[in-house]
Amino acid sequence: MARDKPTAGIEIKVHSRHGEHEVQPAAARSRPSGTSPIEFGQYRPFKKWVPWLVPVFVVANSVMFTISMYVNDCPKNSASCIGRFLGRFSFQPLKENPLLGPSSSTLEKMGALEVDKVVYGHQAWRLISCLWLHAGVFHILANMLSLVFIGIRLEQEFGFVRIGMLYIVSGFGGSLMSALFIQSGISVGASGALFGLLGGMLSELLTNWTIYANKLAALLTLLFIIVINLAVGVLPHVDNFAHIGGFISGFLLGFVFLVRPQFGWVSQRNAPRGNSSTSKSKYKPYQYVLWVVSLVLLIAGFAVGLVFLFRGENMNDRCSWCHYLSCIPTSKWSCNSQKFSCETSQLGNQLNMTCLSNGRSGSYSLTNSSSTEAEKICSQLCS
């Protein structure tokens, strides 16, 4: 964030023309004459919190990844696992999962987001459970490092309740948008919640604009980071709709959860009795307006999205170009991610399979009767 941790170098500058207060680093200018070091050097307007929830989130995600690898038990289902010395914690072959992780069937079993199970299987809990699952080592490392760098600072500034709510609700918003636009395959990861934290940082900067020094530089830096991360989402196999949904949810929630009171109100509250000439409002009028509008938009968006989801709507039918927000096809890669369905019958180790999409059929001898091998055969038959 664009704000440094308050120390003895933070002081209050009074603008006589407007009568408002602004936080500025003491190093940026000299202390005004006639002011005491106590008044300017020891003033701490906002409480600092000890972060513990974000580390708990990191541990919870790591534990869930370890459990998913234990459940996956690659050596039992595949002969070409990566890191076989790890035993049942070894990884799926790279051609199945290049991120070094479990199989898609294991993630589905553990609670990955799959639209058919949410809509027709009445498993709405998958909109939340998918936030705690990750596709591989590279996936969880990238997300947890981002969570530590972003989340720790936010929790120090605003506390565990507000940041916890921001994280969970943004993650839900990301899952909801993903389910509305990507209805084939499965989706896992905390990326939607992380983009919610980025969105919250942006709205927090805007709604608390008057208390920041170097605010324009902070805004441009934050926008650059957000744009770069969203741009990466147009690559194949990245669920950018979860990123966008999480970001929008977090952006709106930031106006609700991360609003700061005016320094005039804080100064008046901490001033000796009788020293205040006029009563200051805790928040500026535009902060109240943003709070109400954002809350209404968020509730309405979630309500409409859930109605469309449980009616089985595919939002790509209503928006012909929206799929480009998640993947832009080029000569280097394709964006097709079709989910194949096959009809099977099995007698001993002999598997008879027919692809329902193209009608092709074949007979195969199974080395083992795992669902992973059957899924692979179905994919080859239908492609």
Active site residues per annotation: 191, 243
Instruction: Report whether 353 contacts 343 (CB < 8 A).
Output: yes
| Phi, psi angle pair for 302, to nearest 5° | -65, -40
- Residue reference for tokens 């498993």: 123
Alpha-carbon Rg for the chain, nearest whole angstrom, is 26
* Alpha-helix runs per DSSP H in 191-333: 191-207, 215-232, 240-257, 263-270, 285-310
Closest by Cα among 310, 174, 142 to 253: 174
The whole-angstrom separation of Cα 190 and Cα 125 is 15
Q: Could you give the 3-state DSSP secondary structure of residue 105?
A: helix
* E strand intervals along the chain: 10-15, 20-25, 342-347, 350-355, 361-365
Exposed, middle or buried: residue 270 (CB in 10 Å: 0-12, 13-18, 19+)?
Answer: exposed
The two most distant CA atoms of the chain are separated, in Å, by 93
